[in-house]
Chains A and B, each alone.
Chain A
Amino acid sequence: MSIALSIGNNLTTNGVFTASAVNNTSVTNVTDFASVVGGGNLKLLSTQTASASATIDFTSGIDGTYDTYVFKFINCHPATNDVNFQFNLSTDGGSSYNVTKTTTRFTALHSESDSPHASLQYESTRDLAQSTADKILLNGVGNGDDESCSGELILYNPSSTTFTKHFMARAVENRSDDTAEDAYGAGYANTTSAINAVRFLFGSGNIDEGIIKMYGVV
């Protein structure tokens, strides 16, 4: 009877539960709100933290679940000074990273001393034309204690077996020559095989520190 009275206190006159009838504990055993749409457009799939790592490889989670995948790299710090931060793609789950790519790259530079760099240019020596080499995201990253690079790489529809795989990247760094570099890279993996692994690395030496997160776009 006391329970009935308590329930009655938690109901409107129309028999609808008031806020006092439901709290966080009430929904502890609910594991699926089937009709509730997710609240965000990015779903975190995995996070990897570098610790003197030669490479950071994403060899799972890249499949047909999402049309678009976003990799965010934050404060990647090289062990070696003046090295490029780059990536490559795999169609065999990471056994080899050698997908043919054609890409563009342009940058805006500005040095701390205001000279010699305050410029915008296409970088013809750092693009790729039907090459299996690593794609440069950032050039000449410094390894000073406070120097690193950050940015994101967007990979579109990697599981398509019909189309080539497009990607775009924007990244920023303080270079070894104390210059801010705003770098844009884009292109396509010229294959109709599905891309199922991505590798990040420096052109030489380890990734001393850094975090790379992979998201699927909902």
Chain B
Amino acid sequence: MKTDDLVALLSTNLEPVDRNAVVRTLCVAIAAVAIAAIGIAFAGLGFRPDLTTTRALIFLAVKVAFAIGVTGLSLAYLTRLARPSGERKILPLLVAAPFLVIVVLAAISLGSAPRAHWERMIMGDEWLECLLSIPIIAIVPFAVSIWAVRKGAPTNLSRAGAFAGLIAGGVSAMAYALHCTDDSLPFIAVWYGGTIVLCTLAGAALGPRLLRW
């Protein structure tokens, strides 16, 4: 086939293009997935029974703020990474900011507590449940984020995959926070932060395979 013929074919009866398609697809996908993740957490684990007490609400707020910080930053990056050459314009390390904040808060909290309490503060009651739940709840959000990124045209597939994993981990951590009764900053830093990093690494590994176009 002649290239001129292909160009003519593609230009015949051209349709205008939606100018916000990339951003809209991603935002709608993440909003839908956040609701779905909360539903999965509620159906699978149930919300914590003491949800209305002040102490529970304060820690819920910390966990959710951390998760939303991670999700929001990675969503902003993903709208760039879903475009060709979009990776040129971002500083991926900025996304480490929420992690840094929570680690610093955890260190302060450990520093002001007696050493004998450290193990209990870090391991909590349900570290294993947290370690398993966040990645499992993240599966559906990850699949939907990958679908949304595929609607665009990523050219750095491992990085786009990593951010899809990060956003899935963030959304999942937010949903899991409604169930989790381990209220200590070191627990959040280690088990929330750690599992979100795991989701990110999984996304980076799967990106090149899942995002090819």
Q: Do A and B come from one complex?
A: no
Interface residues of B (CB under 8 A from A): none
Interface residues of A (CB under 8 A from B): none
